[in-house]
Structure 1
Amino acid sequence: MTNTAVWHAASEADTIRLAALLASWAEPGALLSLDGDLGAGKTRFSQAFAQAIGVQGVVNSPTFTIIKEYEGERMPFYHMDVYRLSVEEADDLGLDEYFFGKGVTIVEWASLIRELLPDERLEVYIEHLGDEARRITLKGIGALYEGWCGQLAEMGADKA
């Protein structure tokens, strides 16, 4: 069973608020798979999430380095961008060490390596609606993430 919620962000501040809320719920081993068109705001979402778990300094897209590790106040943050990888290349990187590690992981372009992702995760899809507006669809796979979507629905997010 999955649970889905839709967050309507009228501004960048609304997107940041969602990222911070999810970060407040995150525990070591949490995984957010992030997708959306180019320019939809995946990296901005990741930056806000990282800031909310206490990562200091600049968090930028790991497009060419694939994986960046940051120390947060609450836990490590693993930021991945798999846009330029094949499934085989990604599999060779040993991503499970991150997915099941001591930190929280966000994978940008995660749908490209879906078969390598853990069975339980929060799938986040960001749609650009013009200017700063975004529709963010969250699909919880597994009890923990279904709970997150349920909490978002109780807070007023739409159920998809």
Structure 2
Amino acid sequence: MVKTIILPTENDTVALGRQIASQCQTHLVSHEQAIVIHLLGDLGAGKTTFSRGFLQQLGHTGHVKSPTYTLVEPYQLDQLMVYHFDLYRLADPEELEFMGIRDYFDSRCICLIEWPEKAGDAIPPADISIQLDYQDLHRVATITASTDAGRQILLTE
């Protein structure tokens, strides 16, 4: 399942994050596994903007920054953990093993992963991949569901 959405403004990118967060939340009511979302795109393409809308929808009221130097920012939200990863500065996927990366995917949570391609095989495949690109004067999101869970989430409206 692949869906393309034009995002004329930053607010549209935030709204997309909110929508997908709501769909993930609905899915987790009856499922216990982690949801893995890969966020792809060049610097400044809107990955953190998407994440801000996603986290706000789930109840986060503070600032959302990209965890470029810490690699991961955990958010405890209404009995749900969201882990926001930014792997841009990752020098070697082995660093993820030292930080216990696999433990983040063991339980009912959502993992938003910016720059997942830098992790190699150290992270699970995506349930949903969101490729954010610039096209003319706006952004375009290409959303791909790669697992049954991803397809169920995207079909939830």
> How high is the TM-score relative to the length of structure 2?
0.85
Aligned length: 149
Matched, 1:96 2:102: yes
Letter in 2 for 1:118: P
Q: Is the 8 A contact 2:132 2:139 kept in 1?
A: yes
Paired with 2:59 and 2:114, the residues of 1 have a C-alpha distance of: 20
Secondary structure of 2:121's counterpart equals helix
Match in the other structure for 1:9 = 7
Match in the other structure for 1:158 = none
Given candidates 40, 46, 51, the residue that maps to 2:51 is 46
Paired with 2:135 and 2:84, the residues of 1 have a C-alpha distance of: 25
Paired with 1:117 and 1:146, the residues of 2 have a C-alpha distance of: 20
Superposed CA offset, 1:83-141 (max 9, x none): 1112111232222211233321101101211422224521111002354x211111111
Match in the other structure for 2:82 = 77
Any stretches of 5+ residues in structure 2 without a counterpart?
A: none
Task: Return closer, same or farther for 1:114/1:147 CA change in 2, 3 Å cut-off.
Answer: farther
Paired with 1:148 and 1:101, the residues of 2 have a C-alpha distance of: 17
Report deviation, 1:82: 0.8
Match in the other structure for 1:56 = 61
Letter in 2 for 1:71: Q
Letter in 1 for 2:95: E
Task: Return closer, same or farther for 1:45/1:120 CA change in 2, 3 Å cut-off.
Answer: closer
Match in the other structure for 1:23 = 21
Q: Is the 8 A contact 2:36 2:125 kept in 1?
A: no
Given candidates 111, 121, 128, the residue that maps to 1:122 is 128
Q: Is the 8 A contact 1:10 1:134 kept in 2?
A: yes
Task: Return closer, same or farther for 1:104/1:40 CA change in 2, 3 Å cut-off.
Answer: same
> How high is the TM-score relative to the length of structure 1?
0.83
Superposed CA offset, 1:63-94 (max 9, x none): 01111111212512211111111211123222
Q: Is the 8 A contact 1:35 1:109 kept in 2?
A: yes
Any stretches of 5+ residues in structure 1 without a counterpart?
A: 156-160
Match in the other structure for 1:136 = 141
Q: Share of identical aligned residues, percent?
A: 29
